[in-house]
Structure 1
Amino acid sequence: MSLLLAIAAQAAATQATPAAVAPDYEKDASWICLPGRRDVCSTPLATTALSKNGYGSNGLSTIASNPKLDCFYVYPTVSQDRGFNSDLKPDLETGATLTQFARFAGVCRTFAPIYRQMTSAAIGAAALGRDLTPNFEVAYGDVRSAFRNFLATRAKGRPFVLVGHSQGSWMLQTLIAREIEGKPAARQMALAIIPGFNVLVPEGKLVGGTFASTPLCTRLGQKGCVVAYSSYRTNNPPPPGALFGYAAKPGFTVACTNPAALGSRGWAPLDSYWYTRSELPVPGGPISWSSEGKPPTPFVRTEGLASGRCVNAGPRGYLEIRTNVTPGAKWTDRIGGEVGLGGFFIPGWGMHLADVSAPQGNLIRLVEAVAR
């Protein structure tokens, strides 16, 4: 009950103010990231390797000089703006782009539009039953306009990869269904990476449900397919009615494609990039990344600290994540990802905040593979 009251208080404190004027995507100022300029996607990220033996080498993420692909990114729900649609002054939106998307600049040209997303207050209002269809259409209309501008004036026939998370993945789901499937753009779409929002498929199938003709990816290098999943900690599967990882529609399940092992149901080590300066709550308290002390850079890369496997059991479909505890190791045996609100962690959201960071290195390799 306390969690519900916290959501209610957040929603009630916000008045539904009119949405800002629609952005003009002909203007470079309407984009967080664009090729050929200095922004968060063209700034190398300082990263330290962290293994069971402790901290290793420090380095900077790479910026590809002549990549074969373009990547079009839509960020998740981060806006704390008043009203149910955000303004067009990015702040937390830039931070999300930095941590989730900037590293993709090593394999593709990066495009990230600013859009009037549904705010965190809108999500709270939706949990209380408010119809947010008009607010969704405002947000989606911006993403559609940005994508059309991208296709017409920026991509110019180049293959592209869609990248999103949470609300961003919802927007891209809708974009695929309305603007890509059955249209010329389908031939340009090399891959869609859309974790953190349910893609529904009939149980035992790879296509149908959310998408009419776009299948789930089952092998490295496969083109025109979708990578989708929602993360849950091992031994903590999605409860009935969970927002992520549980299909309410009879006969359907939530899609899971393991970025570390497409088409497999077995455990696979994850190549993770963690933002160590995050102040978000973590079960068990703040993480001590290594017994050697604080990380020397804002990001650490861990290979094999966590593993993941896809689970589909009736309506449930999710990426199960476990931490590989190594006795005597100098690295942590804990990772975060749960969403905290009002002193609680929301059980039906799983490890939502780790959807991108836990397998980020694997996701980047998927883009490399379709580029080849």
Structure 2
Amino acid sequence: MTSRSRKALGGVGLLVALVTVPMVVLWPEFSALLQFLQAGTPPATPFAETRPPPAPDYGSPESWAALPDRPDDADVAPGQERDGQASAPVDVFFVHPTTSFSNKVWNAPLDDARAKDITDHDVLRNQASAFNACCRVYAPRYRQASLGSQEATPEEADKALALAYRDVRAAFEHYLRHQNHGRPFLLAAHSQGTLHALRLLEELITGKPLRRKLVAAYLVGMPIPTDVFTRTLPDLPLCASPEQTGCVISWNAIGPTADTRLFHVHLHRYPDGKKESIVGKALVCTNPITWRADETPGAREEHLGGVRFAMAAGAPPRLDRALVEARCREDGWLVITRPGPQAYRELLLGPDLYHVYDYSLFYMDVRENARARVTAFRQDEAPHQPLP
């Protein structure tokens, strides 16, 4: 596998580097992923010469990975926790990360069986379900940019990402028209999903009346330059305290020896069309133990707990309390101590890169923090506009 192919994967945010992998792995599709990484090639046919998969119909439940009024894997809860969607006063619109490892297509069709399996039984369980205590969970399927598309030139890869974003925007607009009914909402995402969610903030929320309904945005697993807030999100600050609302939260978990140059291929796209490297830029970092955007360390004893759901159904997993310490480094990376349980070390994406565990490592911290921000939002809104 070439140096270029390792780096190019960072455009979507899965940032895969081959390391020694234990026999127990995160996904049953690992063998397919390994084969792709060894090949390290983009789709053979140029993007312009391919026919994209059929567009989603967001009026159909089949175009959604999670909906609050039907059973799905966003309903799971660990330990003594319970799914609270039936009475939740707020929604969450969740945009999933890359789950298509193909290099045969630029954008994955919605009925891609492998991608659906990972989205439904891994991502919904280990990421989106963290919000089901406070919020009704809406998670669209979309024609995601496949992992293979990121082996292409930046110009070609951007075309696949743009198609994926069109779907995410269409899903969000459908949600607002038909499912939101004026309720407050959280925006949450990971990796490729964070790229799309950030564009939603820039194009549909900042400076618009909808901004007043945003409780918070959890944009995790993708380096975001801090100048985004002055250049494109002037009314959406970085969250600086655990109960602040109308603000943005982001982190990228690494260990102390991680080589973050794998992320340097990522060019941040600004709404004016200008693209700039993140190299040398200050990056956003929220500590998900302290919920502060500074270098104050989060102590192990303050860590509420990580959770790793298995892909197969089974007993709810235990909480791994006091799992790690965490500190936002000066350069904007969240540096954590090594988690002990094997469940968080089954498939590293490079030495000390904990990308796939960004949510799982802090699952209970996210769950409690989302509840706290929803409570604070409702208390602030109550005198002005009663909520359902």
TM-score (norm 2): 0.74
Alignment of 1:368 onto 2:371: yes
- For the 8 Å contact 2:267–2:278, the answer to whether it is kept is no
2:156 is aligned to: 131
- For the 8 Å contact 2:92–2:186, the answer to whether it is kept is yes
CA deviations over 1:40-59 (Å, ceiling 9, x no partner): 223x34x4xxxxxxxxxx54
- C-alpha spacing 1:248/1:303, structure 2 compared with 1 (3 Å): same
CA deviations over 1:263-292 (Å, ceiling 9, x no partner): 24222133333326479xxxxxxxxxxxxx
Q: Superposition pairs for residues 263-278 of structure 1, below 5 Å? A: 263=292, 264-268=294-298, 269=300, 270-275=303-308, 277=310
Amino acid at match of 1:256: C
Amino acid at match of 1:319: L
Q: Superposition pairs for residues 72-91 of structure 1, below 5 Å? A: 72-81=93-102, 82-89=104-111, 90-91=116-117
Alignment of 1:353 onto 2:378: no
Query: 1:74: how far off?
Result: 0.4
Higher helix share: 2
Measured in 1, the distance between the counterparts of 2:158 and 2:262 equals 24
Once structures 1 and 2 are overlaid, which stretch shifts more, 165-174 or 15-24? 15-24
Measured in 2, the distance between the counterparts of 1:4 and 1:318 equals 23
Query: 1:71: how far off?
Result: 0.4
Query: 1:3: how far off?
Result: 5.1
Query: 1:346: how far off?
Result: 6.8
- For the 8 Å contact 2:91–2:180, the answer to whether it is kept is yes
Measured in 2, the distance between the counterparts of 1:172 and 1:332 equals 31
Alignment of 1:101 onto 2:135: no
Query: 1:213: how far off?
Result: 2.8
Query: 1:337: how far off?
Result: 7.7
- For the 8 Å contact 2:266–2:278, the answer to whether it is kept is no
Alignment of 1:38 onto 2:71: yes
Alignment of 1:260 onto 2:289: yes
- C-alpha spacing 1:300/1:150, structure 2 compared with 1 (3 Å): same
Measured in 2, the distance between the counterparts of 1:92 and 1:332 equals 22
Query: 1:99: how far off?
Result: 1.8
- For the 8 Å contact 1:241–1:248, the answer to whether it is kept is no
- C-alpha spacing 1:39/1:309, structure 2 compared with 1 (3 Å): same
Measured in 2, the distance between the counterparts of 1:299 and 1:356 equals 15
1:336 is aligned to: 345
Measured in 2, the distance between the counterparts of 1:163 and 1:139 equals 16
Query: 1:103: how far off?
Result: 3.3
- C-alpha spacing 1:3/1:250, structure 2 compared with 1 (3 Å): closer
- C-alpha spacing 1:27/1:141, structure 2 compared with 1 (3 Å): same
CA deviations over 1:175-223 (Å, ceiling 9, x no partner): 1001111111111111000111122114xxx932453331100012211
- C-alpha spacing 1:356/1:193, structure 2 compared with 1 (3 Å): same
**Paired positions, count:** 324
CA deviations over 1:95-146 (Å, ceiling 9, x no partner): 21222112321211010001001011112335xx553222111100000011
Alignment of 1:219 onto 2:246: no
For structure 1, the 5+ residue unaligned runs are: 48-57, 280-295, 325-330
2:218 is aligned to: 193
Q: Superposition pairs for residues 53-92 of structure 1, below 5 Å? A: 59=80, 61-81=82-102, 82-89=104-111, 90-92=116-118
Measured in 2, the distance between the counterparts of 1:147 and 1:179 equals 9
- C-alpha spacing 1:140/1:346, structure 2 compared with 1 (3 Å): farther
CA deviations over 1:39-89 (Å, ceiling 9, x no partner): 2223x34x4xxxxxxxxxx54643343111100000001113430101012
2:56 is aligned to: 23
- For the 8 Å contact 2:74–2:129, the answer to whether it is kept is yes
Query: 1:357: how far off?
Result: 0.8
Amino acid at match of 1:23: P
Measured in 1, the distance between the counterparts of 2:177 and 2:354 equals 37
- For the 8 Å contact 2:295–2:328, the answer to whether it is kept is yes
1:291 is aligned to: none
Alignment of 1:311 onto 2:329: yes
Measured in 2, the distance between the counterparts of 1:333 and 1:253 equals 32
1:286 is aligned to: none
Query: 1:238: how far off?
Result: 2.8
1:322 is aligned to: 337
Query: 1:248: how far off?
Result: 3.8
Query: 1:360: how far off?
Result: 1.6
Measured in 2, the distance between the counterparts of 1:33 and 1:103 equals 13
- C-alpha spacing 1:353/1:217, structure 2 compared with 1 (3 Å): same
- C-alpha spacing 1:322/1:22, structure 2 compared with 1 (3 Å): same
- For the 8 Å contact 2:43–2:149, the answer to whether it is kept is no
1:230 is aligned to: 252
* Identical counterparts, % of pairs: 25
Amino acid at match of 2:161: F
- For the 8 Å contact 2:223–2:283, the answer to whether it is kept is yes
Give SS of 2:167's match.
helix
- For the 8 Å contact 1:231–1:319, the answer to whether it is kept is yes
TM-score (norm 1): 0.77
